[in-house]
Structure 1
Amino acid sequence: MTTHFSDVLIVGGGAAGLSLALRLAEDDVSITILSKGKLTEGSSLYAQGGIAAVLDDDDNFQSHIDDTHTAGAGLCRESAVRKIVEGAPPAINWLIEKGVKFTLVDGAEYDGVDSQYHLTREGGHSHRRVIHAKDATGREVETTLEQHVRAQSNVTILENHIAIDLITSEKLGRPSARCYGAYALDIDNNKVKTFGARSVVLSTGGASKAYLYTTNPDTSTGDGIAMAWRAGCRIANMEFVQFHPTCLYHPYAKGSLISEAVRGEGGLLRLPNGERFMDKHHEQAELAPRDIVARAIDYEMKKGGFDSVFLDISHKGADFILDHFPNIAESCKEYGYDMTSQPIPVVPAAHYSCGGILTDLRGRTDMKRLYAVGESSCTGLHGANRLASNSLLECLVIAESAAQDIRTRLKKEEAKPSPELPAWDESQVSDPDERIVVSHNWDEMRRFMWDYVGIVRTNKRLERAKNRIEMLQEEIVEYYGNFRVSNDLIELRNLATIAELTIECALTRKESRGLHYTLDYPEMNSFASDTILTPNNFVSHAPIQEWAIT
């Protein structure tokens, strides 16, 4: 089997992967990017709100830091918060220099980094500090970065390639924990390829497709987290799954997110009778952190037996709405709702994974030569609940740090030839005879994760989920061991791992904190600790400052 070798292998083509590739492309290194679909098809593309950054004279770093800690419910890592917050303005300027067109204030003329950019405010922020491109920031950032990356002669882009597993020193019979590459399925040709690299970066995004209702695209199946876990890396804080409070409620509106910025610009949450309710749940009302708003909506829906609540910004007028939220308004219109003249029905949906592969602030994991950046990582920035619009920011800042570390390491290391990598072994498998098994298991898992590991949890519900996932895991392991891999099977296997890790983390946290709310332990402990899963002993709890990457 032919091994495709490069200096850097990047798995995933979102904001984290593309920005890292573009920074490294300036050096004389070869880069391969694997994307399981189209290069930009991921959560970054669909990010609406914007990027949080201190860009106004009335704002300051400490305020952004404090807001992040408050949202994170005492679990944020101080060094991560400070580094990423202080790295925001340079990251924004870098995007502007690359050609990203952020929205200007009314009447302003474009003047590059010195332009007067419009800043919006989102839930949990004490200032207007979210820079955006109308209501499609992710698309503007992604497509701009894509154009630059595609223009680099030392970058090879392979779309429709889904990574299966990492190739580690254990597979090669070597003693040190080191990553040498990955196996990936060429979906178009149904062939498994071997990719060797001197550095491997996992930027595969989140895992919210583990839930029945989600704002995420179909690509968000936790591939990087699952691969890193199987390779022996620590995973942290998987119980903290952020449910976005406002997803358009319609039977055919698959993952249609209604941006946080709608509430930031004056949108009000109402019951079906028109009554506001958020002021009864939090002093910041509609601008409370996401976990509080999502739980409030869940509570009101269950209490009143409603299918949804309603988000109303019609009082701001059609001109204002269409200027600030043209894409959201058009999306709502496709499903029969005119947000300029009527409230729109909304429900919470799984949105963001605050936990992931444990990394330091250079993206380094427990395994040498293996990095993780973006939503698949856990740097400690988000703690128990992500502050709105800090996600794209983390992608950009940590990608820059990881690029620096990779660049320095590659220059120090001798360009030794890659060891011979073992070929993918299909000698003991056959073509699947019952593909329906995969789809049934997928559906069952997403339903019980929504029912038992959702916005409000109990020990009984979590134990039920644990029993279900253990049975499903047995079926999946047997199926995987007997049949040739397919895109659906790879994703199912990864999502089952994500479900298992999430359930295990949730069961071990004996408190309610941030996004993890349990009726059995409704109070928050006086001390904060992370839930760290280690493949050898599985669960441990450690103070948040004791993370160490060797």
Structure 2
Amino acid sequence: METKTDFLIIGSGIAGLSMALKLAPLGRVVVLTKKSESSTATNLAQGGIAAVLGEDDSFELHQQDTLMAGDGLCHEGIVKTIVCQGPERIRDLEDLGVRFSRQPGNPEKFDLGKEGGHSRRRIVHAGDFTGTEIQKILIERVHEKPSVSILEDHIVVDLITECKIGTCTAEKDEKERCLGAYVLEVKTGIIHTFLAPVTVISTGGAGKVYLYTSNPDVATGDGIAVAYRAGARIANPEFVQFHPTCLYHPKAKNFLISEALRGEGGRLLNFSGEAFMEKYAPGLRELAGRDIVARAIDTELKKSGKDCVYLDISHKPAGFLIKRFPNIYARCIELGIDMTKEPIPVVPAAHYMCGGIVTDSYGETDLRGLFALGETACTGLHGANRLASNSLLEGLVMAHQAYLRAREIFSELRDRKAPRVPEWDTGGAVDMEEAVLISYNWDVIRRLMWNYVGIVRSNRRLNLARQRLIPILEEIRHHYWDYILTRDFIELRNLAQVAELIIAAASQRKESRGGHYTMDYTCKDDWNWRKDTIIKRTGH
């Protein structure tokens, strides 16, 4: 079945829904989400949005903090663009109905939080469930727009480009054109053809490529994988940020203990009850960058042989903790942990992809008519390591930037004659009767990546990971043509693709910087490696 629309948005997080709202007056908008409309990383975000709103703060300070966290690889132009738009984009959210926390006794001012790497209090939040509040309001506003449709349980299989269907008309110096996407409707198993002059990828990250992650189950790198296969460049996939503090409990899955706890005075303790961050980050201690804190915890765990460290904020008044962190407090109580009286067991977990699909300052990719927003994109804001709470900020600002550009080029793209796109052909594919073929490879990849391509890497580990991934990739290629596609298989295919990209980029970079640390090159090498790692599909 073929569906034509003006704008096709793949993903329903803060970037995708913000873009949908802005595009609604310009034409028909279809938003695709592979599970429910609220199954997003945005919905899990606890901390908040970094924005310059404090009297002692400035754009220059926020930019400096971002550049410091990015460890030499941030693109200064985009850092300035995104930071300077922060306050305006926060007002946009308030106008939509988002209610951020205000200072007790002074409701005119935001209750600004502080997190690791920030020199000032600048985190705008709604308690400790900021993402949930934003997701709820954006969904409500989108449903009020008659020109916007959200289709749940629809997962992208591949992008449709002119060259893919054999009608490439691009001149030598002209971009190839994206025409839309082939999309699996999960409940029926039908693969539909969605065509649009403008396609937006906002599918989030790829945390599920690792065994332990703070990400939702949908974070399988779909956007990065389909864009790579379509010929778009991918930048810096080796820079995976590991959040230092995920809740460690057998009944807790993907539950993050927000950076804000450390911002409010939380201390990290080893199994013996000793604070240890001073020896890894003198002065900054728990408020050092996430890469530093995660490596410190990893070192302590390897030294002790224990499964977790502890985050202790019990020295703060109980009333303050319950009001400031209601979500975290309630979840811990459910599991028998009273954070007002005892430390919280925590471990690092894969949290954020600092790299992704290469875009310009307006979210445009290498393909004409294709935009990428949010965690799936690489704008250059985060460099080698993301500053806390800059992710939601980037999603908001880049949605606005992309809207400005899409509005400008939409008429030209719409009026340009499009070739006939063939329907999806299943050929002789049959149903896959043994789901174990998928679950086994999924588990192998995630363990492989955690053990060999995790917080600390080495040439030997990366080579082993590459060699062990090769037969899995080959098996997936065969299955792709032999079996009828399912959501699980599509996610496995994308997960394996992203794993391959991370390993390739990590193997290229002969230094340690930001989220990439290797025992073979422990120092930063600005002379040779202060540059982005760029990977493009060969033979495309």
User: Is the TM value for this pair above 0.5?
Assistant: yes
1:162 aligns with 2:155: yes
* Mapped contact 2:369–2:413 kept (Cα < 8 A): no
CA displacement at 1:165 relative to structure 2: 0.4
Shift of 1:271: 1.1
Aligned to 1:382: 382
Give SS of 2:281's match. coil
CA contact (8 A) 2:197 2:413 kept: no
Whole-angstrom distance in 1 between the partners of 2:212 and 2:410: 42
Mapped to 2, the partners of 1:127 and 1:456 lie a distance apart of 30
Does residue 214 of the first structure (1) align with residue 213 of the second (2)? Answer: yes
Which blocks of at least 5 consecutive residues in structure 2 are unaligned? 171-175
Between the aligned partners of 1:179 and 1:427, the Cα distance in structure 2 is 24
- Give the 3-state SS of the residue equivalent to 2:191 in structure 1: strand
Within a 5 Å distance, the mapping from 1:247-396 to structure 2 comes to 247-283=246-282, 284-396=284-396
Give CA deviations for 1:458-509 in whole Å, capped at 9, x if unaligned: 0000000001111110011111110000010000000000000000000000
1:423 alignment partner AA: E
Within-5 A mapping of 1:6-21: 6-21=5-20
CA distances 1:373-428 after superposition (whole Å, capped 9, x unpaired)? 00000000000000000000000001001011111111345535643211000122
2:28 aligns with one of 27, 30, 41: 30
1:147-226 residue pairs with structure 2 within 5 A? 147-175=140-168, 176=170, 177-226=176-225
For residues 235-294 of structure 1, the C-alpha deviation after alignment (integer angstroms, 9 at most, x for no partner) is 000000000000000122111100000000111101122110001100200000000000
1:47 alignment partner AA: A
Do the aligned partners of 1:196 and 1:418 also contact (CA within 8 Å) in 2? no
Distance in structure 2 (CA, Å) of the matches to 1:417 and 1:139: 41
Letter in 1 for 2:29: I
Query: 2:42 maps to what in 1?
Result: 44
Distance 2:211 2:537 in 1: 27
Distance 1:117 1:253 in 2: 31
Verify the 8 A CA contact 1:105 1:116 in the aligned structure 2.
yes
Give the structure 1 partner of residue 534 of structure 2.
532
Structure 1 residues 428 and 261 mapped into 2: Cα distance closer, same or farther (>3 Å)?
Answer: same
Q: Which residue of 1 aligns with 2:131?
A: 138
Are 1:116 and 2:130 matched, yes or no?
Answer: no
Note if contact 1:120-1:261 (Cα within 8 Å) is conserved in structure 2: yes
Distance 1:102 1:120 in 2: 12
Deviation at 1:156, TM superposition (A): 1.2
* SS of residue in 1 equivalent to 2:164: helix
- Could you say if the C-alpha distance between residues 537 and 127 of structure 1 is closer, same or farther in structure 2, counting changes exceeding 3 Å? farther
CA distance in 1, matches of 2:19, 2:128: 24
Q: Distance in 2 between matches of 1:413 and 1:472?
A: 39
TM-score under structure 1 normalisation? 0.95
Q: CA deviation at 1:102?
A: 0.2
Secondary structure, aligned partner of 2:203: coil
Could you tell me how far apart the structure 2 residues matched to 1:462 and 1:257 are?
Answer: 28
Q: For 2:102 and 2:62, locate their aligned partners in 1 and report how far apart those are by CA, in whole Å.
A: 22
CA 1:83–1:126 in 2, change beyond 3 Å: closer, same or farther? same
Which one is further off, 141-150 or 428-437? 428-437
Letter in 1 for 2:3: H
Structure 2 matches for 1:400-549, cutoff 5 A? Answer: 400-413=400-413, 415-416=415-416, 418-527=418-527, 528-536=530-538
Query: How far apart, in 1, do the equivalents of 2:433 and 2:106 lie?
Result: 62
Confirm or deny: 8 A CA contact 1:363 1:373 kept in the other structure: yes
Q: Give the direction of change, closer, same or farther, for the CA distance of 1:318–1:191 in structure 2 (3 Å limit).
A: same
Could you say which residue in structure 2 is the equivalent of 1:112?
none
Q: Tell me the distance in 2 between the aligned counterparts of 1:108 and 1:39.
A: 35
| Correspondence for 1:55 | 53
Matched residues in 2 for 1:138 and 1:35: separation? 17
* Offset at residue 335 of structure 1 (A): 1.4
Q: Distance in 2 between matches of 1:178 and 1:330?
A: 49
Aligned equivalents of 1:417, 1:36: Cα separation in 2: 30
CA distance in 2, matches of 1:107, 1:422: 63
Whole-angstrom CA distance in 2 between matches of 1:133 and 1:247:
20
Q: Is the 8 A contact 1:168 1:178 kept in 2?
A: yes
By how many angstroms is 1:526 displaced? 2.5
Secondary structure, counterpart of 2:47 in structure 1: coil
Offset, 1:517? 0.3
Q: Which residue of 1 aligns with 2:71?
A: 73
Distance of aligned partners of 1:269 and 1:330 in 2 relative to their CA distance in 1, 3 Å threshold: same
Paired letter, 1:135: D
Aligned with 1:292: secondary structure?
helix
1:244 matched to which residue of 2? 243
Q: What letter corresponds to residue 501 of structure 2 in structure 1?
A: L
Preserved CA contact (<8 Å) 1:238 1:353: yes
CA shift for structure 1 position 345: 0.4
SS in 2 for 1:339: coil
- Note if contact 1:248-1:345 (Cα within 8 Å) is conserved in structure 2: yes
Contact preservation (8 Å) 1:3, 1:421? no
The CA deviation string for residues 192-228 of structure 1, in whole angstroms up to 9 with x for no partner, is 1110001000000000100000000100000000000
> Compared with structure 1, are the counterparts of its residues 414 and 459 closer, same or farther at alpha carbon in structure 2 (3 Å cutoff)?
closer
Is the Cα contact below 8 Å between 2:167 and 2:419 reproduced in 1?
no
Aligned 8 A contact 2:355 2:378 in 1: yes
Distance 1:190 1:526 in 2: 50
**Code of the aligned partner of 1:535:** R
**Structure 1 residues 199 and 414: alpha-carbon distance in aligned structure 2, compared to 1, 3 A threshold:** closer
1:439-464: CA deviation from partner (whole Å, max 9, x where unpaired): 10000000010000000000000000
SS of aligned partner of 1:314: coil
Q: 1:380–1:129: structure 2 CA closer, same or farther, 3 Å change rule?
A: same
Contact residue 197 and residue 418 of structure 1 kept, 8 A: no
8 Å CA contact 2:197–2:414 kept in 1: the answer is no
Q: Which residue of 2 aligns with 1:542?
A: none
Does the 8 Å contact 1:242/1:354 carry over to 2? yes
Deviates more, 1:134-143 or 1:170-179: 170-179
Partner secondary structure for residue 402 of structure 1:
helix
Q: Which runs of 4+ in 1 moved over 2 A?
A: 411-420
Which residue of 1 is the match for residue 173 of structure 2? none
Q: Which amino acid in the other structure matches residue 530 of structure 1?
A: D
Identical residues among aligned pairs (%): 53
Q: Which amino acid in structure 1 is aligned with residue 150 of structure 2?
A: I
SS of 1:360's equivalent? coil
Counterpart-to-counterpart distance in 1, 2:221 and 2:414: 33
Partner secondary structure for residue 179 of structure 2: strand
Query: SS in structure 2 opposite 1:119?
Result: coil
